[in-house]
Amino acid sequence: MSQHKPIITKGVDWVIIWLYAIICCIGLVCIFSVEFKGNDQFFQSLFAFKKNYSKQMMFFCFSIVLAIFILLTDSKFFTATPNILYIIGILLMSATFVFGKNVSGSRSWIPLGFMNLQPVETCKIFTALALSKYLAQPGTDFTKTRSHAIAAGICFLPIVFSLLQNETGLALVYFAFLLPMYREGLPAGYLILGASLGVLLVVTLLVPTTQLLIAIAIIAAACIFFLWRKIKRNRNLLVIIISVWGISALFAGVAVPFLFRSVFQKYQADRIFSMVGRDNPFIEADPNTVSIEDAAANKKKKDDKENYNVKQSKIAIGSGGFAGKGFLKGTQTQGDFVPEQHTDFIFTSLGENFGFIGTTILMLLYMAFLLRVIVIAERQRSTFSRVYAYSVAGLMFFHIAVNICMTIGLAPVIGITLPLMSYGGSSLLTFTILIFILVKLDSDRQMVLR
C-alpha cells in the first residue's frame, strides 16, 4: 500500500486544502491593508520581517512546511500518542506560571525566541486528539454518565488553566468540544439544561436580581397551582418543581453574582453587561471616589472606552457599504481607528475595503469549509477520525462565530482570533496543525484505525 510508495497527496481532500489556502491569502491581504501606508517600501519591508504582514507571510510559509510534515507522518502516530500529547499540553500550560511572559495582562505566553507560544492555543489540538482517543476506545460506552463525566473532564481541564491565566476568552473555546460529544450521543438533556442555564444567565443579566427571584418564585407557585392534581397523584413532580425552583434561585441569586464578582475580571463583566446594554450592577463602589457624580463620570468614561472598540469596528465594517471602498482605500483602516485591527478585528479591514460582497464571500468560504469538514467527518470509518473531525469543526465554528459576532456587535468582546485570518503565529499554526491532521486522517480513511 502507500507505505511503500509514500505519495503525500494520495487521498488528500483538495477542497479543504484550497479553502484553507484561499482563506489564508485573504487574511494576508487584510493584514497588509491594515499596515501598509501609501509611502511604505513594499519589498523592503516584506523581506525585512519587521512588519506584521511580512511576519505573517513567514508564518504562512512555516505552516505549509509543517503541513507537509504532517502529511508525511504516519497517521498511526496521531492515534497512538494523544494521551502523552495531552499530558505534555497540560504541562506546558502549567509551565506558563513559571516561564510565562506577560503579554497585555495575561501570563499565557511562553517565549520561544522567534515567536511566542500560547499553550492554551496548542492545547486545543491535544485535547481534540485526547477526546477522540477516549471516545474511540472500545471500552467507552458513551451512553453512560461516567463516560460523559470523563469526556467533560478531558475537555474542561484546560479551562481551569486558562481561567488561572486570565484568558477567559480562550477558556470559552473549550466549550466547542460539546459539539463532537453531542454528535457522539451526549444526551440532549445536558444541552437543554445548558441552554436553560444560558437563558437564565441572560435573564439574570437583564433583570435585577430581586425581581428575578420573585418572578421565579411566582412561576414555581403557578406551576404547583396548575399541576396540583397531577402532584396529588405523583409526589415526585412536586419534588422536581421545588428542586428546579431552588436551583434557579441559587443560580440567579448566588452563582451569577459570584461569577461576575469573583471569576470574571471586572473588564470582562463590564463588557458582558455593555452587550446587554446595562451597567454592571455587581460593581463595587470604589472607595477612592467620594461623590456620586465622580463615580458616575468615571463609569461613563469607562463605558465609552469599553464600547469604543465595538463602535469603531462597526463603523469600519458599516462604512464599507455594498462594494467596499477598495483595496487600501479604507479611511478607518488607514487612520488606525480600530484597535487590535490586525489580530482580533481583522474582519473590519475586510468589511471596509471590500464591503458586503467581500464579507459575504468570506462567510460563504467559511461555511463551505465547515460543511466540508462535516462531510469528511461523516465519511470516516473510525470513531477516532469522526470525533476528531467534529472537534475541528466545533473549534473553528466557535472561533468564527464569536469573533465575527464580536466585530459586528452581536457578542461581547472576548479576545479570540478569526481562524486563518488573524495575525499571529500561534493561532495560524494551531489551526494549520488541526486541519492537516484531519486531512492526513482523512487520506488514510480506508485503513482501519482505532
Binding site for another protein (CB under 8 A): 37-38, 142, 179, 182-185, 314-322, 329, 331-332, 334-337, 351, 355-356, 359-360, 363-364, 366-367, 370-371, 374, 377-378, 383, 386, 390, 393, 397, 401, 404-405, 408, 410
CA 102 to chain centre: 21
231: enclosing H helix or E strand: helix 228-233
Pick the closer one to another protein by CB: 185 or 208: 185
Residue 317, judged by CB atoms within 10 A of its CB (0-12, 13-18, 19+), counts as buried
Pick the closer one to another protein by CB: 203 or 328: 328
Q: For the CB of residue 363, give the shortest distance to another protein in the complex, in Å.
A: 5
Residue type, 410: L
Pick the closer one to another protein by CB: 94 or 331: 331
Alpha-carbon distance of 86 to 130, in angstroms, equals: 6
Q: For the CB of residue 350, give the shortest distance to another protein in the complex, in Å.
A: 11
DSSP classification of residue 254: I
Alpha-carbon distance of 101 to 98, in angstroms, equals: 9
Q: For the CB of residue 315, give the shortest distance to another protein in the complex, in Å.
A: 5
Count of residues for the chain? 450
Q: Provide DSSP, 2-25.
A: TTTS--TTTT--HHHHHHHHHHHH
Pick the closer one to another protein by CB: 253 or 318: 318
- Contact by Cβ (8 Å): 143, 185: yes
Contacts of residue 160, Cβ cutoff 8 Å, sequence gap at least 6: none
Three cell numbers, residue 285: 463602589
Q: For the CB of residue 427, give the shortest distance to another protein in the complex, in Å.
A: 20
Q: For the CB of residue 105, give the shortest distance to another protein in the complex, in Å.
A: 22
Contacts of residue 443, Cβ cutoff 8 Å, sequence gap at least 6: 10, 11, 12, 13, 71, 75
Q: For the CB of residue 418, give the shortest distance to another protein in the complex, in Å.
A: 12
Alpha-carbon distance of 133 to 120, in angstroms, equals: 20
Find, among 104, 72, 29, 108, the residue nearest to 427 by Cα: 108
Q: For the CB of residue 186, give the shortest distance to another protein in the complex, in Å.
A: 9
Residue 340's CB is within 10 A of a number of other CB atoms, namely 16
Can you say whether the dihedral through the CA atoms of 412, 277, 267, 104 is positive or negative? positive
Residue type, 137: Q
Pick the closer one to another protein by CB: 80 or 367: 367
User: Cα 405–370–73 angle (5° rounding)?
Assistant: 125
Pick the closer one to another protein by CB: 231 or 404: 404
Q: For the CB of residue 204, give the shortest distance to another protein in the complex, in Å.
A: 23
Q: For the CB of residue 67, give the shortest distance to another protein in the complex, in Å.
A: 24
Pick the closer one to another protein by CB: 281 or 335: 335
Find, among 283, 373, 353, 344, the residue nearest to 30 by Cα: 353
Pick the closer one to another protein by CB: 317 or 439: 317
Three cell numbers, residue 337: 481607528
Alpha-carbon distance of 96 to 91, in angstroms, equals: 9
Pick the closer one to another protein by CB: 46 or 328: 328
Pick the closer one to another protein by CB: 51 or 386: 386
Q: For the CB of residue 107, give the shortest distance to another protein in the complex, in Å.
A: 29
Pick the closer one to another protein by CB: 155 or 157: 155
Q: For the CB of residue 25, give the shortest distance to another protein in the complex, in Å.
A: 21
Alpha-carbon distance of 353 to 373, in angstroms, equals: 29
- Contact by Cβ (8 Å): 253, 209: yes
